Structure 1
Amino acid sequence: MTTKKTSGAPKPAQRVIKKYPNRRLYDTDTSTYITLAEVKQLVLDNQSFIVRDAKTNEDLTRSILLQIILEEEAGGAPMFSEAALANIIRFYGHAMQGFMGNYLEKNVQAITDMQAQMAAQSKTLTPEAWAKFMTLQNPMMSGMMGNYTEQSKTMFEQMQEQMQKQTEQMLGAFGIKK
């Protein structure tokens, strides 16, 4: 893999996938056409990549990731309920849109970190230790969920403060004091 120099530390080159007008995806790393399922596997393997329009060089990564999510949601076991999707849609164009994206990203990352921590701990366990681990799961899970809950609470408090400031600014613009 080639490396690019950025601020003194070598960084692996990002894998480039080109999307052609015929909607085919071409992996420049392997010099082959790939499917959306293979792009999904790159995500699952934590591989860094970018999807670019072959003609305009426009970054299409987000739209490809959304397409993967759409296919997963259309499958047998969707992650989001209709109510959750409707609520997400309601945040678009709302003053809290930017904050909500950050809030969701941090919470998903916290859950991902918890999952990775549990997976790492479970690899070193013998069957006897696993049995003991399972009996201690509630306190440990409680601790991890406590950390998650605390992060979530902090983010919610920040959201409330931001809403209050925006309301005060808006009212101030109309000459109304709180």
Structure 2
Amino acid sequence: MTTTKKSAERLIKKYPNRRLYDTETSTYITLSDVKQLVLDQEDFKVMDAKSSEDLTRSILLQIILEEESGGLPMFSSVMLSQIIRFYGNAMQGMMGTYLEKNIQAFIDIQHKLTDQSKGLIEGGNGTQLNPEVWSQFMNMQAPMMQGMMTSYIEQSKNMFVQMQEQMQNQAKSMFSTFPFPNPNPTGTGGPGEKK
């Protein structure tokens, strides 16, 4: 028997009593169930039952808040403060794209490592590594992964600085052709400089 992945987006309705209703299973579900849909990589959309407003992001943020409140948080207070500072900033859109691309790069690295590990065998008898051995292997690889990610982030930062410098140089050359008055015609220095 073959199973095919559904291509239709699953619809979840949120009612005023804050209950979530899964239209595919015709049952009420919890935030935990929605988290499981995310983990299972199901495509879904959460809509307000009355207004039809898309609430998907709001529900996902609630799941993140619950995850951050319990166990080991992924985001430090410093990082959250820095993210908040980007709201309303001219760089807000770029920051969102930057974070999304970096998370995707991390996921790609994780998938590649998983694919490469499928070739590992235990004891030469053709059996796959058991979960405990795999966990030990990954724990040994953590410093290497941290080093690779640090290197990747540093390269990314350097490329961003180069891009910023190129944009500044292009702006300078573009605006130098306009007949703006020279703010310092005597060449004696700017405000606050000794003459």
Shorter-chain TM-score bucket reads 0.7 to 0.9
In the alignment, structure 1 residue 104 sits paired with structure 2 residue 99: yes
Higher helix content, 1 or 2: 1
Moved segments of 4+, more than 6 Å: 175-178
CA distance change for structure 1 residues 141 and 63 in 2, over 3 Å: closer, same or farther? closer
- The 8 Å contact of residues 72 and 78 in structure 1, kept in 2 or not, is answered as yes
Q: Quote the RMSD (CA, aligned, Å).
A: 3.6
Task: Give the total of aligned pairs.
Answer: 159
Question: What residue is the counterpart of 2:110 in the other structure?
Answer: 115
Match of 1:6 in 2: none
Q: Which residue of 2 aligns with 1:57?
A: 52
In our comparison, the structure showing a higher alpha carbon Rg is 2
Q: Does 1:152 align with 2:173?
A: no
Percent of aligned pairs with the same residue?
A: 65
Where do 5+ consecutive residues of structure 1 fail to align? 1-10
Whether 2:44 is the aligned partner of 1:44: answer no
Other-structure match for 1:3: none
SS of 1:114's partner is: helix
- 2:19 matches 1:24: yes
Question: Using a 3 Å threshold, how does the CA distance of structure 1 residues 163 and 128 change in structure 2: closer, same or farther?
Answer: farther
TM-score normalized by the length of structure 1: 0.73
1:16 is paired with a residue of what secondary structure?
Answer: strand
Match of 2:187 in 1: none
Partner of 2:191: none
2:7 is aligned to: 12
Q: Secondary structure at the match of 2:47?
A: strand
Contact 1:103 1:155 in 2 (8 A): no
Q: In structure 1, what residue type is equivalent to 2:24? A: D
For 1:157, the aligned partner's letter is V
Higher relative contact order by CA 8 Å / sep ≥ 6: 1 or 2? 1
| Residue identity in the other structure for 2:12 | I
Whether the aligned pair in 2 keeps the contact of 1:110 and 1:148 (CA below 8 Å) is no
1:160 maps to a residue whose letter is Q
